[in-house]
A and B are shown apart, each in its own frame.
Chain A
Amino acid sequence: MNQYNIHNIKINPADFQHPMDKNATRLIQSSAAFRKCLEFISKQSLEKQMQCIYRSSLAQLTPKTAPGICRMAEEACEMFGAETVPELFLQRSYTTAVTMMGIEKPLILLSTELLKDIKEEMLWGLIAAEISGIRNGFGEIRFAEWLCDSAGIIPAVISRPLSKLFKEWHKYLQFSHDRAALIAIGDFNKTMCAVLAGEIPMEILMRMDFSDPNCSYMKQSREFLENKGHWTETLRDIKAFSNEGVFYAARYVNLYQFMKNEYWDITEDFMEEI
C-alpha cells in the first residue's frame, strides 16, 4: 500500500494528459469531419442503438451485481470531475482491454477474462483511467471511431478523413490513460501490473519489480525502442499504425519517465502522509 492517502485527489485529466495525446485529440475535435460525424450520430440516434445492443446482449454491472466495481466508477468520476457516471457492462471475451465510449451516456466495457485474475486496486486504476478520458472527450471520439470502423454506418465521406486522425490518436491515447491509472493507484508497480493485467498470470506480474531501472522488462523495452535499422523501423511503424494501441514496451518506458519527472509535482499538493 502506498504511504500516502491517494483518495483526496481531485484533478483535471487535462493537467497530466500526454502532450502528443492532447495535440491529437485537439486535431480530431477541431476537424469538420468530426463535427459532421457527431451530427450524423445524433440524427440517426446511433447512441440509443448502441445502448439497445449492449443492454440486450451484455451483462450489466449494477450496484446489486457488482457493488465494488460500481463504487470504483463513482469515485473515479469524483476524482477526475466527470459529471456522468458511466454504465458498466461485462462481456465474455479473451481480450482484457477496457473500453469506454459514448457521448451523452458513456459506458465502460469490461471482459470476463480481465476480472478473473486482476486485483481490485488494479481494476480501480483501469476504470479510473477510462473515466479520466470522459472529461477529455475520449468518449465521443471512441464512439465515433467505433462507428467509423463498423462497415457502412458512417458515410465514407465523413469516416475517411477521420480514419487517419484516429490512428494517430491511438499512438498516444494509452500514455494518458496510464498516467491516470498511476495517479489513481499511487504505486508504480501496481500500475504496471494493471496495465499488463491479463497478458501473463498476475502472480508472475506481481513478482516483477517494474520500478527497478535494471529490471528485465526495462531492458526489453529499451531494446525495443532503441532497435535501429530500416526494416525494423518500417515494420514498427506499420505495426503501430495498424495496432489498436501502443506497444506495451513504449507505454512502460513512457510511464516510467512520467513517474520520474512529473508525477510528484502533479500530485504532491494532494498527498497527505498517512
Chain B
Amino acid sequence: MEYGRLKGIKTEEYEYPGEETAFSLVKKVPLLDKIVAAYLKYGNWMLALPEVQGDCFRVTEETSPEAYRIYKTALTRLDMPSEYPLFAKEDYEYNAYTTGGSAPYIVIHSSMLKNLSEEELLFTLGHELGHIKSGHLIYYMMAQGFGQFIVNLPIPGIDKAAAALHYALIHWVRMQEYTADRAGALAAGSIEAGQVVLGRLLGAENDLLDGVHFTREDFLEQNATFEELNQNVVGKMISAVLIMNQKHPWVVNRIQALEKWKNSGSYQALLDKYVSSLC
C-alpha cells in the first residue's frame, strides 16, 4: 500500500498490549534513575559509534540515493520528528539495530540491503525507527548491553536492583519488539512484508533449490505446531525457561502476533484514520 506521512500517529495507538504493563514493572525497580544516569554516562554503548563511523558505509541522500529514498519513506510514514544517521555494515547475517542514547543511529547489515525487497526494507527500517519513536531507547539499549556493567556500578544495593531490573527489562524488551514490528508494518504499508522478513530470519528464503517455497501461511502453520509443544505443563515450563533471558520473542510468535493484529482490524483502522486524513 502506498501512502505518505501518518501525521500525528502516536506509539500508544499501535503499542503491543502488555508493553505498558511490562514497562511499569521496569519503572518500579529501585535506584532506576541512578542506574540510567550512570549508563548514559559510562555505558559501553559509546564505544560502538566510533567503530561504526570508521568502518561502516554512511547512507545519505548524497552517498546512496536509492537506499536513502527507502529510509526517507520509512521516516516520513512514521512521522518521525527528525532524521537519524543510517549506516550499512558488512555482515552476512540478517540484522539491524538501533543505539546511541540521546543521539540515536541505525545500523543495517549489508545482507539485508542486498537481499530484501523495498517493502521488506521499509519494514526493517520502520521496526528500528519504532524503537526510537517509543521514547524508551535508553532502556532498550540497557537491555541489549546490560551484562556486567550494572552489577559493577558503585551504587549501594545495586546487586538486588540489578537482578530485578534485568528480568523486568528483558520482559519489557520482548514486548517492545512486538510494538516495533507493528511500527515496521506501518512503515512498509504491509503486514505480509513484515511476516516475510521475519520468515527470512527463520531461514526461509525462496531463491534456493527448485521446489523450496515458503509462504506466510507456512509460517503461521509452523507457529501452530510450535504452540502444540506448549500445550502441557512441561512444554509451558520449557518455553518459559528458554525465553527468560532472550531479548527477542520467538520468531514464529512475532509472525503470529502481526497476523493477530491484522485480523483484529486495528491495523487497518489506523491506516484508515491517518491515510484518509492525507489530502
* A residues whose Cβ falls under 8 Å from a Cβ of B: 45, 48-49, 51-53, 55-62, 64-69, 89-94, 111-112, 115-116, 118, 120, 123
Give the interface SS of chain B, mostly helix, strand, loop or mixed: helix
Are the CB atoms of A52 and B203 closer together than 8 Å? no
Taking a contact as CB atoms under 8 Å apart, the answer to whether A57 and B250 are in contact is yes
Q: How far is the CB of B111 from chain A (nearest CB, A)?
A: 9
Residues of A within 8 A of B212 (CB): 61, 65-66, 68-69, 90, 115
Pair B234/A67 contact, Cβ less than 8 Å: no
B residues neighboring A (CB under 8 Å): 92-94, 199-205, 207-214, 218, 221-222, 225-226, 229-230, 234-235, 238-239, 241-242, 250-253
Residues of B within 8 A of A57 (CB): 202, 250-252
Query: Given contacts A59-B199, A90-B203, A92-B93, is CB(A51)–CB(B214) below 8 Å?
Result: no
Instruction: Specify which chain A residues have a CB less than 8 angstroms from the CB of B214 in the assembled complex.
Output: 59, 65
Q: Could you tell me if B205 and A112 are in contact, using CB atoms closer than 8 angstroms? A: yes
| A93 neighbours in B (Cβ, 8 Å) | 203
- The reply to whether A94 and B92 form a contact with Cβ atoms under 8 Å apart is yes
- Quote the shortest CB–CB distance from A47 to chain B (angstroms): 10
Could you say which of B92, B94, B213, B238 contacts A52, with CB atoms under 8 Å apart?
B238
Contact indicator A115/B234 (Cβ below 8 Å): no
Q: Determine the chain B residues whose CB is within 8 A of the CB of A59 once the complex forms.
A: 199, 202-204, 214, 222
Nearest A residue to B248 via CB reads A57
Partner of B211, one of A58, A66, A112: A66
Cβ–Cβ < 8 Å partners of A120 in chain B: 209-210
A58 contacts B203, C-beta separation under 8 Å: yes
Check B209 against A68 for contact (C-beta < 8 Å): yes
A56 interface neighbour in B203, B209, B250, Cβ under 8 Å:
B250
8 tightest A-B contacts by CB? A56-B250, A59-B204, A115-B208, A59-B202, A59-B203, A90-B203, A55-B226, A91-B203
Partner of B208, one of A58, A62, A116: A116
Task: Give the chain A neighbours of B235 by CB distance below 8 A.
Answer: 48, 52
In the complex, A59 Cα to B93 Cα: how many Å?
Answer: 15
Complex alpha-carbon distance, A271 and B201, angstroms: 43
A95 to chain B, nearest CB (A): 10
Residues of A within 8 A of B221 (CB): 62, 64
- Give the residue of B199, B209, B226, B230 whose beta carbon is less than 8 angstroms from that of A123: B209
Q: How far is the CA of A57 from the CA of B202 in the complex (A)?
A: 5
A-B contacts, 19 of them at CB < 8 A, read A48-B229, A52-B226, A52-B238, A52-B239, A55-B225, A57-B251, A59-B203, A59-B204, A65-B213, A65-B218, A66-B211, A66-B212, A67-B211, A68-B210, A69-B211, A69-B212, A112-B203, A115-B208, A123-B209
Min C-beta distance of A119 to chain B, whole Å: 9
Chain B, Cβ-Cβ closest to A119: B209
- Give every chain B residue within 8 A of A89 (Cβ-Cβ): 203
Q: Which residue of A lies closest to B252 (CB)?
A: A56
- Contact A51 B201, CB 8 Å, known A56-B253, A57-B251: no
Residues of A within 8 A of B205 (CB): 92, 112
CA distance A183 to B147 in the complex (A): 51
Task: Specify which chain B residues have a CB less than 8 angstroms from the CB of A49 in the assembled complex.
Answer: 238, 241-242
Least distance between B137 CB and chain A CB atoms (Å): 26
Alpha-carbon gap, A111 to B92, bound state (A):
13
Q: How far is the CB of A24 from the nearest CB of chain B, in Å?
A: 31
| Chain B positions within 8 Å of A67 at CB level | 211
CB nearest neighbor in A for B213: A65
Since A52-B229, A62-B218, A120-B209 are in contact, a sample of 14 more A-B pairs with Cβ atoms closer than 8 Å, ordered by chain A residue number, is A48-B229, A52-B242, A55-B229, A56-B252, A61-B212, A65-B204, A68-B210, A69-B211, A90-B203, A92-B94, A111-B203, A115-B208, A115-B209, A116-B209
On whether the beta carbons of A53 and B242 are closer than 8 Å, the reply is yes
Q: B238 contacts which chain A residues (CB < 8 A)?
A: 45, 48-49, 52
- What separation, in Å, do the CA atoms of A61 and B212 have in the docked complex? 8
List chain B residues, Cβ under 8 A from A123.
209
Q: Which residue of B lies closest to A46 (CB)?
A: B238
How many angstroms from the CA of A45 to the CA of B252 in the assembled complex?
22
- Bound-state CA distance A59–B199 (Å) is 7
Most B CB contacts (10 A, CB to CB) among A56, A65, A93 go to A56
CB distance from A240 to the nearest CB of B (A): 27
A112 to B210, CA, bound (A): 13
A51 to B194 CA separation, bound complex (whole angstroms) = 25
